[in-house]
Amino acid sequence: MTRLARLFAVAGFAFVASISAPAGATSLAPLTVDQMVDASDLVVIGKVLHVEAEAAPGGRVYTYVEIEVERGLKGVAEAGDFLRLEAPGGVTEAGEFTDVSLAPRFSEGERALLFLAEKRFGTAYGTVGMSLGKYTIKQNPASGADMVVRFTVPYTQAFDARFVPNPPAAERVGLEAMVSQVEARVELGWDGEPIPGISADKLRAINKLQAGVK
């Protein structure tokens, strides 16, 4: 296992529980970066154009995010495409509020690496593993190169991607290193091992299969 894989295997989790207002109840299971790739309909690098929260019938609030794709890494997405993301929780302009502590947070103008799964009815995408499927792209202060940073805060706190803290130097992962791992997994394909919360039929449908996998 590579250093990059080890770093993210330690941190990787899958979200497998339902959301209730005002707080989110969660149950988490281990998930590696390769599994996140396998679980994704799309993996893209994109820019956040717009963020808006809306209350659904019943009072729960969801946040909707418009993304312009900069680069597609998996699935049918390419530069110039626009995607609609849905995340649980948020604060509406009218003050309606649902807090989900593990939800991904977004700010306009932010660049991000996103692992995305299609929501029911195909009207939007959600991040795989909640906040774990979203990485802010920012500059490594030591090298000046782009790096990926996983960070979120509850909706009780403001979020601005410009102020996402830098990881310790030894734990920083470059964007291109992460892209290389994603592309290598896409090319290699699914290994046939189950992933919590995702059917084997879905995994077969959205992935190339490794040799021997039926």
CB 21 within 8 A of CB 98: yes
Number of domains within the chain: 1
| pLDDT for residue 30 | 62
Would you say residue 42 lies in a domain? yes
Q: Tokens standing for 98?
A: 């649902």
Question: Which residues are CB-contacts of 183 (< 8 A; sequence separation ≥ 6)?
Answer: 73
| pLDDT for residue 143 | 96
| pLDDT for residue 24 | 38
Would you say residue 213 lies in a domain? no
* CA-to-CA separations, 202 to 34, 57, 142, 197, in angstroms, rounded: 16, 29, 41, 11
Closest to 33 in 3D by CA, of 72, 74, 61: 74
Residue 174 carries which DSSP code? E
Range of 169's domain? Answer: 3-206
22: domain CATH number is: 2.40.50.120
Would you say residue 24 lies in a domain? yes
Beta pairing, strands 61-74 & 42-55: antiparallel
CA atoms of 152 and 91, how far apart (whole Å): 15
**C-alpha 137 chain-centroid distance:** 12
| pLDDT for residue 123 | 78
| Average pLDDT for runs of 10 along the chain of length 214 | 42 30 43 94 98 94 98 97 97 94 96 93 88 96 97 94 97 97 98 94 97 92
| Residues 28-50 as b or e (16 or more Cβ within 10 Å = b) | beebbbbbbbbbbbbbbbbebee
Would you say residue 105 lies in a domain? yes
Would you say residue 92 lies in a domain? yes
| pLDDT for residue 214 | 86
Largest CA distance in the chain: 55
| pLDDT for residue 23 | 37
Would you say residue 72 lies in a domain? yes
| pLDDT for residue 29 | 58
Would you say residue 198 lies in a domain? yes
Would you say residue 107 lies in a domain? yes
| pLDDT for residue 101 | 87
pTM of the model: 0.87
